[in-house]
Amino acid sequence: MPIKVDKLAIDGGRQVIEFPLPTIKNATGRLIGEEEMTLVKEVIESGCLAYLYGEKVAEFEKRFAELYQIKHGVAVSSGTAALHTAMIYLDPDPGDEILVSPITDMGSVIPVLYQQAIPVFVDVDPFNQNMDPQAIEAKISSRTRGIMVTHIYGSPADMGPIMEIARKHDLFVIEDCAQAHMTEYRGRLAGTIGNIGCFSFQQSKHITTGDGGMVIADEDQRFGRRLRECFDKGWPRHKPGRDHNFLAPNYHMTELQAAVGIAQIQKYSISIVARREAAAKLDNLLREEEAFEPIGTLPDCRQTYFYYTFRLKLELLRANTETIIKALTAEGLTCEHGYPGPIPLYLYKMIREKKTFGKSGWPFNLPGGRKKWNFEEGLCPQAEKCCRETVILPWNERLQSDHVELIGAAIGKVLNAYKK
C-alpha cells in the first residue's frame, strides 16, 4: 500500500518552514557584535587603516598561528589570494602541473592558472568527496610539482596516504582549508599537515572578516622565497630601502578586517560546537531515511560542517536531484544542488573552453607543453556522479534545535513523497 504523505508545497500543500531560518547572509546566522564593534572602533579612532603602520593585522596573524601551533601566519585579502600566495611561493615553471580536486571552489584553481601552471584533476572518493589518494599516482607526470588538497565541506581529506605519495615524488602540498577551519585529521589540524595551509574568511566561512584569508606555514625557505614577499609585490621590507625580488601582487588585509578577525577568532569554538550539535541532530532525525546519505568523516577525524552535505540514493527515488531541490525549496528550505554546482569544476566554461589570457588559451597550450589538455565529461566519473546526487545545506552556528527539526521534517516529507 502506498505510504500516505502530506501534500508537497510544490503541489500547493502547506510549507514545512514558514519563516526564514538563520542565515550566514546577516546577523541571524553569525556571531558578529560588540567585540567586533569595539576593535573596529579602535582602528577608526587610530586613523590608521593599513597593516603597514597599524597593529591589528600583526596581532590577528600571531593569534591565528598560535591557535594552529605553527610558526607563521600571514593575513591576506581572500581565500583565493591565500592560495595564490602559496602558488607564488611554490614558484612553478609555466606548464608545470598541480594536482587538484574537481570538487572545490574555482578559487582553488584560479591561482594555479595565474601562475601559468596546469590544474590536473584527480577523481574523488565518494565517501567524503575529497581527492581519492588511490587516484593520485596515475596523474603524476615528470611536470608535477605539487598537490592542492581541498578539505571539502569541513570533512578532512585522507592526508596520511597523500603525504606519503608527496614524499615519494617530492611534491609540495598546499592544503585548501577554506571550508575546513579547525577540522581534525587524526590528532592534527587540517592546514598543518602539508607544506602550507590556506584559509578563507569570506562571509560564509566558520569565522568571517567579510572577505579575507590566511596562509600558515612552518616556512622552510625551500624555494628561496619569503612567504610575506609573495603577496607584497616581491618586496623584502625587512631590509632597508626598496627592492622587488620577483613578480607578486599586493594582497594585504586591512586593519579593519583584522580587527574583526581578532574578535572572531575567539568565537571559533562556539561556532564549531554549535555547527556539530546541529549536524548531529539532523543525522539522528534522518538516520532511517534510506535515500539520504550524509557525506562521511574518516575514522579518528572530526569535521566542522561548513555545509551539511548529503547524497541522494536516486535509485530509491522517483525524481532526480533537481526536482528534489525544487520541492525542498518550496518547503522553505534553502539548499543547493552539489558543489561546486551540479557539475565538477572542469566542466565550467573558463576551464572547458580555456578562457584564460586573451585568445592564447595559456597555460593549457603553452609551446612545449606535455600534452593536449581536454576537459570533458567522463574525466572524473566519481566527481560527476557526486555532483549529480549531492544536496548541500548552508550551515551556521545559530541553528537551534527547533530549526533543525524543521529542516529534518522538510527533507523527510520530500523524500517520502518521491519514494519509489
Ligand X SMILES: Cc1ncc(COP(=O)(O)O)c(C=O)c1O
Q: Which segment (105-113, 314-322, 354-362, 372-380) binds ligand X by CB under 6 A?
A: 105-113
Other C-beta atoms lying within 10 Å of the C-beta of residue 140: 18
Provide long-range contacts, Cβ within 8 A and 24+ apart, for 283-291.
285/404, 285/405, 285/408, 285/412, 286/408, 286/411, 286/412, 289/411, 289/412, 289/415, 290/316, 291/316, 291/317, 291/415, 291/419
The answer to whether 272 touches 265, Cβ cutoff 8 Å, is no
Q: Which segment (101-109, 232-240, 262-270, 401-409) binds ligand X by CB under 6 A?
A: 101-109
Comparison of 144 and 208: residue with beta carbon closer to ligand X: 208
Where do we find the cell 526536482?
Answer: 323
Nearest to 230 by CA among 51, 77, 111, 88: 88
Comparison of 78 and 356: residue with beta carbon closer to ligand X: 78
Nearest to 346 by CA among 399, 397, 387: 387
Among 16, 57, 104, 292, binds ligand X (CB under 6 A): 104
Examine residue 191 and tell whether it contacts ligand X (CB under 6 A). no
Comparison of 78 and 85: residue with beta carbon closer to ligand X: 78
Strands (E), 151-288: 172-176, 184-185, 188-189, 196-200, 213-217
The residue at minimum Cβ distance from ligand X is 79
Examine residue 150 and tell whether it contacts ligand X (CB under 6 A). yes
Name residue 337's beta-bridge partners. Answer: 391
Comparison of 124 and 404: residue with beta carbon closer to ligand X: 124
Write down the least CB distance from residue 85 to ligand X, Å.
Answer: 12
Nearest to 61 by CA among 286, 215, 243: 215
Examine residue 202 and tell whether it contacts ligand X (CB under 6 A). yes
Examine residue 197 and tell whether it contacts ligand X (CB under 6 A). no
Residues 211-240 that bind ligand X (CB under 6 A): 211, 213
Comparison of 104 and 382: residue with beta carbon closer to ligand X: 104
The answer to whether 411 touches 332, Cβ cutoff 8 Å, is no
Q: Is 239 exposed, middle or buried (CB count within 10 Å of its CB: 0-12, 13-18, 19+)?
A: exposed
Examine residue 257 and tell whether it contacts ligand X (CB under 6 A). no
Take residue 185 and report the three cell numbers written for it. 585529521
Comparison of 150 and 297: residue with beta carbon closer to ligand X: 150
Residues 343-382 that bind ligand X (CB under 6 A): none
Q: Which segment (32-40, 41-49, 74-82, 319-327) binds ligand X by CB under 6 A?
A: 74-82
Q: Is 352 exposed, middle or buried (CB count within 10 Å of its CB: 0-12, 13-18, 19+)?
A: middle
Helix (H) or strand (E) holding 301: strand 301-302
Q: What one-letter code names the amino acid at 156? A: P
Examine residue 176 and tell whether it contacts ligand X (CB under 6 A). yes
Write down the least CB distance from residue 108 to ligand X, Å.
Answer: 5
Among 57, 73, 76, 80, binds ligand X (CB under 6 A): 80
Q: Which segment (28-36, 73-81, 183-191, 241-249) binds ligand X by CB under 6 A?
A: 73-81
Examine residue 264 and tell whether it contacts ligand X (CB under 6 A). no
Among 128, 130, 183, 200, binds ligand X (CB under 6 A): 200
Report CA-CA distances (Å) from 282 to 16, 85, 171, 305, 412: 15, 38, 39, 12, 11
CA distance 131 to 125: 6
Write down the least CB distance from residue 153 to ligand X, Å.
Answer: 9
Q: What one-letter code names the amino acid at 20? A: P
Comparison of 200 and 297: residue with beta carbon closer to ligand X: 200
Take residue 255 and report the three cell numbers written for it. 586593519
CA distance 104 to 102: 6
Among 9, 75, 178, 411, binds ligand X (CB under 6 A): 178
Comparison of 303 and 317: residue with beta carbon closer to ligand X: 303
Comparison of 231 and 292: residue with beta carbon closer to ligand X: 231
Comparison of 208 and 356: residue with beta carbon closer to ligand X: 208
Comparison of 194 and 213: residue with beta carbon closer to ligand X: 213
Examine residue 209 and tell whether it contacts ligand X (CB under 6 A). no
Write down the least CB distance from residue 113 to ligand X, Å.
Answer: 14
Counts for the chain of helices (H) and strands (E), in that order: 12, 16
Examine residue 107 and tell whether it contacts ligand X (CB under 6 A). yes
Binding site for ligand X (CB under 6 A): 78-80, 104-105, 107-108, 150, 176, 178-179, 200, 202, 211, 213
